[in-house]
Amino acid sequence: MLDFILSAASPFNIVLALLGVTAGTIIGSIPGLTATMAVAVLVPLTFTMPTDSALILMGAIYTGAIYGGAYAAILLNTPGTPSAIATTFDGFPMAKSGKGDLAVSVACLSSVFGGLIGALALLFLAPPLAKAALAFGSTEYFWLAVFGLSLIAGLSDGDFIKGLIGACFGILLAMIGVSEVSAEVRYTFGSTTLIGGVEIVSALIGLYCIPVLIDLVATPDRHLNVKQNTADFRLKEAFSIFRFNKLNAVRSSIIGTFVGALPGAGGSIAGLIAYSEAQRTNKAAPKFGTGNPGGIVATESANNATVGGGFIPTLVLGIPGTPPDAVILGALLVQGVRTGPTLFTDSASVVYTFIFGLLLATLLMLPTGLLIGRYAYKAIVKAPKAALVPLVAFMTVIGSFAIRNNISDSIIMIVLGVIGWIASKRGFSASPIVLGLILGRIAEEGFVQSWTIGDAMGNLSGQFFGRPISMVIIGLTLVSVLYPFMPYLKTLLLPRVFPAVLPTSESKADGFKVGFDLFGIAIMGAVGLIFYVQSNDLNVDAAVFPRTIATAMLVLVALAFLKTLTTKQVVDTPIKGSLVRMLSVPVVMLIAAFLIPTIGFIGATTMMGLVLIIPAQHDQYSTKHKLVLIGSVAFVIVACCLLFTQLLGVALP
Amino acid sequence: MRFRHIFIAATVLLSGNAVAQDFPSGSVNYVIPFNPGGESDITARLQQPYFEKLYNQQLVVAYQPGGGGAVSWSRLNSLKEDGSTMMGINLPHIVVKPEQGDVGFKTDDITAVYWFHYTPDAVVVKADSPYQTLQDLIDDAQSNPKKVIFSGSGKGTANHLAQVNFDKQTGVNTTYVSFKGTSAAVTALLGNMVTAQWGYTTVGKAQGDSVRLLAVAMDNRHPAFPDVPTFKELGIDMVSGAYRGVAVPKGASEETRQQMSDAIAAINNDKMFQQQMIDAGFAMIDVSYGQSMDSFMAEKSSEYISAARSAGIID
């Protein structure tokens, strides 16, 4: 073992680990640049390297990217990678209230901790965990997705029905395009733009980031509050938060390791499940979702634990645990290394050197992560709005483009952003839609496969409900769904012991507002109806799942109608600030996206950035200030474009 | 607008003259219509170092996934036609997909210049499976209709068409469960979700001792699996699999098409490359641009379309 530790800690490998973690953190912090891409960019570099060094470099950049995703989640409410979705839930509220730097430090500690647990599991428990992961079949993935969806119960602040409608909407969005299980073209309405479907990362960027941008330009208020001007990392506070959440961190890391080892799941699901469990067991104030650092601890330790966890099936079975692992597996094949059952004995030196290298890279993430995090925080806090808005808008366009080299994705991103913004004003928050979008595909695949198998064996109910692991997941799902309603249930079942918890008497809305709320619900109903009708022309494999969801959506819409009519309580988020400024953001972005094919990517996005300065600017600037602003926005955009083309190999049109 | 002018000037300087003379005039973009880490990506990665050794130019792999490849293929003809760009293509995808609905391209829109290998279809079972031979499986399927369950990658794919063809020729009725890619289909096999897998010879290499191949759909036995019979030996007329090749935009000149074809041929001819591919379980073929390409495409198209029709995937 000592040999392997020594060879992992050779100067060359240490430099690689440091470079990898640093580059990964930066790439991961940019929404649209995922860990998969970060690893893929590196592959050609690894051809000429010894196998263990190549693995260490790729492992380091992978683990860095998963952590880097937290920055944008905390500071911009936009997950840098899908793994960081649940980081936004508490990270952004913390940043809003002046604790952004603390949130970043907590994320760093949690990521390092989770990464170490994942890597240690890879070192000591790989073969048994790989075996356990294989016990998860199609049916279990279906129920796991349903379990993930049950998180909505806790997420959607009281209005559970609207949360479920949002989830159905997200699932139906995921059905657009060529179906994975049946190869049929669905719900494209004749548009070639939609053939590729709604790409998850670009949808995430749109649903989370565009509303932030729109709200940013509306008022002159600061993007993030800064309570005190701290010079340090607030490490002491971060450590005490982490100590307080130590159980949470251990549990989340274990969840992350195991979910990472499941070849059909991945970091986003691991983070969501860990978050859901942490939320359920949390007793400390403030509430989860309003800025409790425990939410960050849970998500970030779980998603970094998936790195080590994902390598388990990759190395033991030759089956990639997560999408970046698939790329690494390919690079190993080029190197002539056979992964699989014999790897741990035949190529022990490669494997163990790599695992120690991964541990080393994870440890190095502590200093580099804190430093880069500090820098990212300062940049976002200090940037004037008039520079922040154009640059973030640019990042959303290039990020959503780069993920599939496809400008349709940028357009879909902007449109979804506007839909998400409007929907959130009517009480349909973005997270249930995102959850539906991510989990919808996994659920459908598992559902259709289980259906086919159950039907062939003549035992449908046994297939869905009779498998032991499925039964456990169904039980967990029920607990998770019912938990938020516990106070009401207790009253219902044992009225003497638990007196009724009276809902806080909210003032009833007037007729106009109720009408507006009903209109919002009716639009969701129309979406459900369109998808239902469109399902009629599809073959049974392609239609069964979306039709079921559309039906459920229609039922929920009817319930929401009844609820609004009887209680007269509506969500009505007032729109603050100038509507013209707000609307100009998506309009300018859309025009730029449509201009890209004719005037080129750099031209169109630079123009977009410069035009967006106007609505984003609230203060009076001197001419000199204005010139500096224009110059720096244009410079950053052109520099970023060149970076993408030259360094990351993204061909911009 | 000044920025734009400077940039145009810079790009023109960097990319050199657009008229193709020497091939390649600079780095070549290789667009893969699938996700990084997929089989097509791995193939491109295996070719990459050989291309760079041959031409001393970079081969830049870029991904444009979506719609099972349709997103890329529908854009092929809008790419640069000066020999700086080629795109990975797959059979049966480019034949079957356009028949399934409006996917933004037709098979004829694709100018294939080379088919360089295929992954032959194979019946894969776990090492501890009771089926020792293909006949064991057929016997079981005959006495238990529908209950022999295969996993496979996708619908309308090589795996799926192989299952339909196999059922038709042997007169059995098996169940096919579509998974998202070969890795997921292997996972289902190893996890006992299914009784067998319609996979490829590459699965046999990647999984080693944990699986057993019962038959491969080739003309002759695969050099890496000398003990595994072909379907033909067992009296089933099946030679099939997933073919991979490259295409160029329609506007590319005859010269560019030929040069691209020659480049891939040169990689395929490298002895070390061939050994690497065979070790990984691939089967090499060489269909180059010109007459042989036309007849190959015609033959494959009619074969796949009739198979897809009898599978009920297309009308």
Residues contacting B213, CB < 8 A, separation 6+? B122, B123, B124, B201, B204, B225, B228
Of A341, A452, A602, the CB nearest to B210: A341
* Predicted confidence (pLDDT) per residue in A601-639, tens digit: 999 999 999 999 999 888 777 888 889 999 999 999 999
Residue A297 pLDDT class (50, 70, 90 cuts): very high
A561 in Cβ contact with A520 (< 8 Å): no
Cα–Cα distance for residue pair A382/A389, rounded to 1 Å: 13
Q: Which of residues 535-564 of A touch B (CB under 8 A)?
A: 541
Kindly write down the DSSP assignment for every residue of A580-645, as one continuous string. Answer: HHHHHHHHHHHHHHHHHHHH-HHHHHHHHHHHHHHHH--S---HHHHHHHHHHHHHHHHHHHHHHH
Q: Which residue of B has its CA nearest to A330?
A: B42
Helix (H) or strand (E) holding A177: strand A177-178
Specify whether the CB–CB gap between B217 and B233 falls below 8 A. Answer: no
Contacts of B33 in chain A (CB under 8 A): none
- pLDDT category of residue A228 using cuts at 50, 70 and 90: low
Q: Do A319 and B66 touch (CB under 8 A)?
A: no
Q: Nearest CB to A196: which of B36, B66, B193?
A: B66
Lowest model confidence (mean pLDDT) among A71-80, B5-14, B190-199: B5-14
User: Where are the domain boundaries for CATH 3.40.190.10 in chain B?
Assistant: 119-216
Closest chain B residue to the Cα of A408, Cα to Cα: B71
Q: Which residue of B has its CA nearest to A597?
A: B78
Structural domain spans, chain A: 2-382+429-444
Tell if the CB–CB gap between A180 and B208 is shorter than 8 Å: no
Q: Do A137 and B188 touch (CB under 8 A)?
A: yes
ipTM value of the model?
0.89
Please tell me if residue A43 touches chain B, with a CB cutoff of 8 Å.
Answer: yes
Q: Which CATH class is domain B2-118+243-310?
A: alpha beta
CB < 8 Å to B280, chain A: 333
Q: What is the CATH number of domain B119-216?
A: 3.40.190.10
- Option in A137, A190, A406 nearest B191 (CB): A137
Instruction: Choose among B48, B101, B177: nearest Cβ to A185.
Output: B101
Q: Please calculate the CA angle B135-B139-B141 and round it to the nearest 5 degrees.
A: 115
Task: Confirm or reject contact between A183 and chain B (CB < 8 A).
Answer: yes
Optimal mutation site among B5, B183, B202, B313, interface A, most CBs of chain A within 10 A:
B183
- For A642, which residue in chain B has the nearest alpha carbon? B7
Taking 60 as the threshold, does the pLDDT of residue B1 lie above it? no
Beta bridge partners of A178: A185
| Of A114, A361, A115, residue with least CA distance to A246 | A114
| Residues sharing a CB contact under 8 Å with residue A177, sequence separation 6 or more, in sequence order | A185, A186, A187, A188, A194, A195, A196, A197, A198, B66, B67
Of A197, A338, A634, the CB nearest to B66: A197
Given a cut of 70, whether residue A158 has pLDDT beyond it is no
Angle at A123 between CA A119 and CA A126, to 5 degrees: 100
Q: For chain B, say whether A595 makes contact (Cβ under 8 Å).
A: no
CB contact under 8 A, B45 and A453: no
Give the residue from chain A lying closest to B29, CA to CA: A651
**Using CA atoms, how far apart are residues B256 and B84, in angstroms rounded to an integer?**
9
Neighbours of A202 (CB within 10 A): 29
DSSP state of A241: H
The pair of structure tokens assigned to A269 is 């699901």
pLDDT averaged over chain A? Answer: 88
* CA angle, A597 then A599 then A601, to 5°: 70
What would the mean pLDDT of A5-12 be, rounded to a whole number? 87
- Kindly report the pTM of this predicted structure: 0.90
Residue A59 CA to residue A361 CA, distance in Å, equals 8
Cβ neighbours of B192 in A, within 8 Å: 134, 137
Tell me the CB-side half-sphere exposure of residue A80, using CA atoms within 13 A.
27
Kindly list the residues from chain A whose CB atom is less than 8 angstroms away from the CB atom of residue B178: 181-183, 448-449, 541
| pLDDT at residue B285 in the model | 95
pLDDT band at B19 (very low <50, low <70, confident <90, very high): very low
Residue of B nearest to A325 (CA): B37
pLDDT of B9 reads: 45
- Write down the pLDDT at residue B12: 43
Where do you find CATH 3.40.190.150 in chain B? 2-118+243-310
Lowest mean pLDDT across A154-163, A430-439, A467-476, B34-43: A154-163
Instruction: Quick: pLDDT tens for A64-118.
Output: 999 999 999 999 999 988 899 999 999 999 999 889 999 999 999 999 999 999 9
pLDDT of res. A252: 97
State the pLDDT at residue A24.
93
Question: Which residues are paired to B176 by β-bridges?
Answer: B150
- Select from B35, B149, B184 the Cβ nearest to the Cβ of A323: B35
Cα B42 to its chain centre, rounded Å, is 11
Question: Using the beta-carbon criterion (under 8 Å), do A137 and B210 form an inter-chain contact?
Answer: no
